[in-house]
Amino acid sequence: MKGQVNAILPGTEEIELTSDPAAEHPLYLYIKPDQVLYSTSIKNLLRDERVSVDVCPQGISFLLQCSVVPPPNTVYRNLYVLGVGDCARIRTQTNPDRPLTVEFKHRFPFFGSGMGSGMDPATESTVPTADQVLDALKQALEYRFDRQKAGFLFHSAGKDSNMVALAAARSGVREQITCITHKSKGKADESEISAAIARKLGLKHQVLHEVDQLGGEHIDAIERFFREAPFPGVDPVTLAYPVYTTQVEALVGANIIDGGGNDSYMMTPLSSKERKLLPLLNLSCQLPGLALLRNSVKTESLAGPLLKTPAEFYGMSGLSYADAKSVYAHADDHQAFWQQRSLTTAWPGGELDWVRHKTDIHTTITAAEVHIRKARNFADSIDANLILPFAHHQVAALFAGLPEHLLFDRNTGKNKLLIRRMLLDQLDLDSDAVGKMGYSYDFGSVIQQNRDFVYSHIRACSLWNQENMLALLARFEAVSQARHKYAKMCGRLIYRIFLISAWHLNCRYLAVREG
């Protein structure tokens, strides 16, 4: 049964655990010497009386420097997550002190035979039509939808949420669904486009507003979020989510619908910057002096990006190792880990393909544990039912193995080509004309206007060397207010340190809070 906690005991025959193909429901494991507990519900697992967790120092180190803890590891000691391509093989052994062994492996599942090839005319019929895709999305939505509750679709001008909106408009629960859109400041605002699309589809729509000056109800919602969220989240818009509940109270306990979950099987092409830099980084990361340089360079150094491994270029950022070890006693240099991941990813035929390389690492680590984890954390914090229609195995099966010319363009960097075509036909939405907007959240304003609230959490957190942390924050604050290339990044890192600190101070699941 989904969500129940299961146990593997000594004497059990060898067993292999995995998640579903697109990790609609990641599998969580808690490993003890004499048993392995596992569940698709992180909350049920953490609340089990057999489970007691504290912080894994390596996890905090990864969050500070890379913004993500790479699966199967998590921020908790002895607790692991299996996502796309991950498996855990559990065996009984004769050692009485540790009768069970667990071996983790990763093999990305979505590199089909069509990658890099043209479409064979004989297989043209296998290309899914818009009706097939929308029907599959509709069925996935209806199957997971709790009809006793309201439904809210996080909607934007983007490709994924509009495919889900089209499916929702066809569904038997359309009257229960409201599209909600964050109103960003400036040119990134998508709320007017979203509202017009919702009207066209006959769906309800509501705008969510940014709150810069936090009042009592906002702080209560934020602290409740940090108390109930199973994992720390460092996505830039993390703090916006609990504030939404003060604007739409019905979000609590509702069906939360999100368009994420398809990047793993639709592939993720390289940007023009990545196409230029990655081959260089692939060579430079093997130079013998790299570790020494990483040991001394400041976070805001212009040389920082050149000291990264290719894997770290896929949406990861954070404190330099030099700064991380000054504020966190257990910080490690993760260069060797990422270099190994960069160099040992296996491809059919043994050839390195940068699109496959990025898709495997970015979608299974950064996208899964930063972006989608943001939605999972929010849903878990308010006892909501999270629905990811694109992550349903039947939807994934429609796209897995399609030739790359239907999925992405290596030269232009455009992705999800088949979906772009469907949206143009079905909704008259030209994704090329709209461009990549992506809603933004002015965390800098939140920090400045609520400085005492933010800094009090950082100062109270036992993870940090407080003297060095306050010096680092002062340095970051000065850079963030200057005309510096990494001004925004330094502001974002102050925000990240606050998010980690507030979670560590409040999280109900931590048995021990020492640093």
Q: What is the pLDDT of residue 344?
A: 64
* Tokens 């509709």 -> residue: 138
Half-sphere exposure of 235 (CA within 13 A, CB side): 23
| pTM of the entire predicted model | 0.94
Q: How many CB atoms lie within 10 A of CB 56?
A: 18
What is the per-residue burial (b if ≥16 Cβ within 10 Å, else e) of 98-111?
ebbeeeeebebbbb
Are 102 and 132 contained in the same domain?
no
Query: Is residue 173 situated within a structural domain?
Result: yes
pLDDT along the chain (515 residues), means of 10: 88 93 97 95 97 97 97 98 97 84 93 49 68 97 98 94 97 98 83 94 96 96 97 94 97 97 91 83 71 85 86 92 97 91 62 84 96 97 98 93 86 91 93 70 91 97 98 96 90 97 97 62
Same-domain pairing of 234 and 192: yes
Q: Report the distance separating Cα 493 and Cα 92, nearest Å.
A: 44
Q: Which of 22, 159, 74, 126 is nearest to 402 (CA)?
A: 126
What's residue 114's pLDDT? Answer: 47
The interaxial angle of helices 417-427 and 191-201, nearest 10 deg, is: 60
- 229 lies in a domain? yes
The CATH number of whichever domain residue 98 belongs to comes to 3.60.20.10
Does residue 484 belong to any structural domain of this protein?
no
- Give the residue among 301, 311, 302 at the shortest CA–CA distance from 281: 311
Residue 340 has what pLDDT?
A: 86
- Determine, yes or no, domain membership for 389: yes
DSSP states of 307-355? G--GGGGTT-----HHHHHHH-TT----HHHHHHHHHH---GGG---HH
CA-CA-CA-CA torsion sign (51, 55, 56, 59): positive
469 within some domain: no
The number of residues in the chain equals 515
Mark whether 134 and 49 lie in a shared domain: no
Residue 1: what residue type? M
140 & 61 share domain: no
- Look up the domain containing 142 and give its range: 128-265+363-434
Count Cβ atoms below 10 Å from residue 484 Cβ, excluding itself.
Answer: 14
* Distance in angstroms (rounded) separating the CA atoms of residues 226 and 499: 8
In this structure, are 174 and 231 located in the same domain?
Answer: yes
CB atoms within 10 A of CB 94: 6
Question: How high is the pLDDT of residue 515?
Answer: 55
Q: In this structure, are 162 and 256 located in the same domain?
A: yes
Q: Is residue 319 part of a domain?
A: no
- Strand-pairing partners, residue 256, are 152, 386
Q: Among 362, 432, 435, 363, which Cα is nearest to 396's?
A: 363
- Considering the domain architecture, whether residues 182 and 93 belong to the same structural domain is answered as no
Q: Give the count of domains, the chain.
A: 2
- Among 168, 194, 120, residue whose Cα is nearest residue 387: 168
Is the residue at 444 inside a domain? no
Same domain, 248 and 132: yes
Is residue 168 within 8 Å of residue 174, measured between CB atoms? yes
Same domain, 20 and 101: yes
Task: Give the chain's count of helices (H) and strands (E).
Answer: 21, 14
The CATH number of the domain holding residue 132 is 3.40.50.620
Give the end of a domain, one of 73, 106, 139: 106
Out of 382, 416, 434, pick the residue that ends a domain. Answer: 434
Same domain flag for 86 and 171? no
* Secondary structure of residue 209 in the 3-state scheme: strand
What tokens does 490 get?
């330094």
Regarding whether 390 and 261 lie in a shared domain, the answer is: yes
Q: Which among 300, 291, 324, 362 has a CA at the least distance from the CA of 58?
A: 324
Give pLDDT, residue 349. 52
Asked if the structure places residue 29 within a domain, the reply is yes
Kindly state whether residues 142 and 254 are assigned to the same domain.
yes
Last residue of a domain, one of 403, 434, 465: 434
Contacts of 283 (CB under 8 A, 6+ apart): none
User: How far is residue 118 from each of residues 115, 406, 415, measured CA to CA in Å?
Assistant: 8, 9, 17
- Residue 104 corresponds to which tokens in the numbers above? 């983790």
